[in-house]
Amino acid sequence: MNTAKYPFAVLSASLFTVMLITPISSISNLIWLNSLNMSIGIFTSLEVLLFDFQRLGILLYGIIIIAFGIAFSIASFLSNYINFSIKYLYALAGACAIGIAMYLIVELLFESELLGGYRTIFGKILHWLAGFFGGYFYYFLISKNYNYTFIIRYLGVLYAYIILGFVLNWIFTPETAAADFGFILKELSDNAQNALLRDFTSFFVATFIFALLGVFTLNPAWFFSAGIIYLGAAIFNLIAIFIHGTEYNHIYIGEILLGLWPISLALIILIKKN
């Protein structure tokens, strides 16, 4: 576990930094839209923040993992030779990692700023600060001893993060979400639209909540609940294909993965407890 904590600390610190960075672009965008007298309310703001966190965040997450992995490795090496507070060394490494990653993104994209929030000096400083806190959080994580629950919690959060995308689509853009499942929402009757929206939204919101409850409580029942729902979807998908004659699809593969993931976490908890 002592060895395993380092990569999981990088993954966790990266996710933490993503949570700090994505609102910078979202909020700067909302401020600008508000300056044009667009109707920015709580619902709209939440929509932008959550969508950016989920969609932009996943892209940034991959980039920051690589950047932090390199930066913290260098900081760890340098800590053997530099007489400097190690926690601030990691913090500075985090800030540098973000700065260099953002610079490289610009250079690779014909000098275009992919992140709206990074276009101003103030925005750049906020991003570097986010990296600074990400590095500090990394030090916080590696300075403690953990047992297996740290990994369980991280994998549970990551699972919930993925499900969040479905949740957001069904709550804020139901027409698009329905289209992804082959429904043309406008062509359904009112009752059918209602049934579709309430059942599908509930399906994804429930599994999202189950995953989070599993993370917080480490009660395997919550992870089992989420997993059973998706495995059930996979089973009934295959029944629909092979018994009821619907067109073959590959969605069951994703459903099996989304089912096995939390079930695996639940089984690990049970085994470790026993």
Partner 1 sequence: MKLFLLSFLLLFSMHSFAYKYETVLDNLDDAWSFVFLNEDTILFTEMPGKLKIVSLTNKSIINVGNLPEVEYSGQGGLSEVILDPDFDSNNKIYISYSAKKDNKKITLYLSSAELKNNELVNRKVIFEANAYRRSPAHMGAKIAFLNDGTLLLTSGDGYDHREKAQRLDNHFGKIIRINRDGSIPQDNPFISDPNALSDIYSYGHRNMQGLVVTSSGLIFEHEHGPKGGDELNIIKPSLNYGWPAITYGIDYSGAVISPFTEKEGMEQPLFYWIPSIAPSDMIFYEKDLYPELKNNFLITALVSKDVKQINKNDLKIQKSLFSDLNSRLRNIQDSPKGYIYILTDGSNNKLIKVIPK
Residue closer to partner 1 by CB (options 52, 255) is 52
Give the C-alpha separation, 1 to 160, whole Å.
Answer: 24
Q: Which two tokens stand for residue 28?
A: 């700067």
Q: Smallest gap, in angstroms, from Cβ of residue 23 to partner 1?
A: 11
Residue closer to partner 1 by CB (options 7, 62) is 62
Residue closer to partner 1 by CB (options 111, 187) is 111
Contacts of 64 (CB under 8 A, 6+ apart): 14, 17, 18, 21, 97, 98, 101, 134
Residue closer to partner 1 by CB (options 57, 156) is 57
Q: Smallest gap, in angstroms, from Cβ of residue 106 to partner 1?
A: 8
Residue closer to partner 1 by CB (options 95, 115) is 115
Q: Smallest gap, in angstroms, from Cβ of residue 15 to partner 1?
A: 16
Q: Smallest gap, in angstroms, from Cβ of residue 13 to partner 1?
A: 21
Q: Smallest gap, in angstroms, from Cβ of residue 17 to partner 1?
A: 16
What is the maximal distance between C-alpha atoms in the chain? 70
Q: Smallest gap, in angstroms, from Cβ of residue 18 to partner 1?
A: 12
Q: Which amino acid is at 17?
A: T
Residue closer to partner 1 by CB (options 119, 272) is 119
CB 56 within 8 A of CB 25: yes
Residues that bind partner 1 (CB under 8 A): 22, 25-26, 29, 32-33, 36, 38-39, 44, 47-48, 51-52, 55-56, 58-59, 109-116, 119
Q: How many CB atoms lie within 10 A of CB 257?
A: 12
Residue closer to partner 1 by CB (options 38, 253) is 38
Q: Smallest gap, in angstroms, from Cβ of residue 259 to partner 1?
A: 26
